[in-house]
Amino acid sequence: MNERLAGLLSPLTAWLQSQPEAERIEALNTIKQALHGLSPFHQEPVDCVLWIKADALRENSYNPNVMAAAERKLLVHSLIQDGYTQPVVATPASDETLNLVDGAHRFRVGVKNKTLSARLRGYIPVVLLQTDQVSREDNMASTVRHNRARGKHQIPAMSALVLELSHYGWDDEHIAKELGMEQDEVLRLKQTAGLKEMFADRRYSEAWTVE
């Protein structure tokens, strides 16, 4: 089986080696996606890591995760010494770019650090979420799910995010379920954002008076 497979791969390998670098990377991505479609693990995004041009990735503006200077320095050192062991996570956008859902710090380091940007040749390792839900609110929820167990969330940023999700029509139960929170925590974050918004989706009984 291995000899037969080697015979099948030999002409493909030779062809790939003859291609310019950009075309070779694109071809490798296409091959990975084809193999991913045949994989018994095709439902797992990490089964297919693609190399995507950094300028095709669009950072989000709502990430509540923060990283201290010491942690950021360690991240840079780790990526330089050990390489990328975790791809960033993205979803397709409507304009043929990708929305960054997780890995903002890894993305920025790969772009801004001279050693890494030269080594990566302007590319970033990416996995794509396999979902039809790629709206802004779905991306926001996915970002929080990825980040919640790591790092620290700024309370004002989380409050603004919860408030925006409520403006999309998500009730407290839906927000709590998607973000891995208790409903009481959602209420506290809404309270931080302002009392008016906190009770915007609450129903009250009509006032009564004693006759």
Condensed to tens digits (0 to 9), the pLDDT of residues 128-153 reads 987 665 666 666 666 666 565 455 55
pLDDT for residue 146: 56
| C-alpha to C-alpha distance for 23 and 139, rounded to whole angstroms | 30
Candidate from 20-24, 41-45, 94-98, 206-210 with smallest mean pLDDT: 206-210
Neighbouring C-beta atoms of residue 138, cutoff 10 Å: 19
Weakest mean pLDDT among 37-41, 71-75, 98-102, 131-135? 131-135
161-200 pLDDT per residue, tens: 777 777 777 788 877 776 777 778 777 777 776 645 545 5
Beta bridge partners of 68: none
In this predicted model, what pLDDT tens digit does every residue of 20-63 receive, in sequence order?
999 999 999 999 999 999 999 999 999 999 999 999 998 876 66
Listed by start position, the domains of the chain span 48-132
Which of 188, 186, 180 minimizes the C-alpha distance to 143?
A: 180
Q: How is the beta sheet containing 98-102 ordered, strand by strand?
A: 50-53, 123-128, 88-92, 98-102, 57-58
Class of domain 48-132: alpha beta
Q: Which of 81, 4, 88 is nearest to 46 (CA)?
A: 88
Biggest distance spanned by C-alpha atoms of the chain: 95
* Residue 203 backbone zone (phi > 0: left; psi -120 to 50: alpha; other: beta): beta
Helix, strand or coil, per DSSP, at residue 24: helix
Instruction: Give the whole-angstrom CA distance, residue 9 versus residue 6.
Output: 5
pLDDT score for 133: 59
* pTM of this structure: 0.66
